Amino acid sequence: MPNRRVLEKYYEYANAGKWTAWCDLFADDMVMDEQLAGHIEGLATLRPMMAGMGTVYAKFQNVPRAILIDGDQGAVLSHI
C-alpha cells in the first residue's frame, strides 16, 4: 500500500473506531512514542491496548488537514 494511503487509512480507521484494522497497518516490530501511552514496542503490545479504546472514548475524531510524503517518511498535520 502506498505511504499516503497508509496514512489516510490510519485516520479513517481511527475515526471509525476500527482498531483491529488500525493495528493491521503496523509492522510486528513497530515502535511508537505515543503522547499518552508512552513508549510502545511491538504489535503484540499495541493490540491489547487498542482493544479497549472504544470503551474509553465513545467518539474519537482526529481529522488530517495536511499529509506530507517524502520517500519512506510521512507527516500529518491533524486536528482533534
The pLDDT confidence band at residue 64, using thresholds 50, 70 and 90, is very high
The pLDDT confidence band at residue 37, using thresholds 50, 70 and 90, is confident
Mean pLDDT of 28-43: 94
* Domains in the chain, number: 1
Kindly state the percentage of the chain with pLDDT values over 70.
Answer: 100
| Residue 48 backbone dihedrals phi, psi, to 5 degrees | -65, -30
53 pLDDT above the threshold of 90: no
54 pLDDT above the threshold of 80: no
Residue 46 maps to which CATH number? Answer: 3.10.450.50
| Residue 45 backbone dihedrals phi, psi, to 5 degrees | -85, -40
CA–CA dist 12, 67 (Å, integer): 13
The pLDDT confidence band at residue 7, using thresholds 50, 70 and 90, is very high
- Domain with 60, as residue range(s), is 3-79
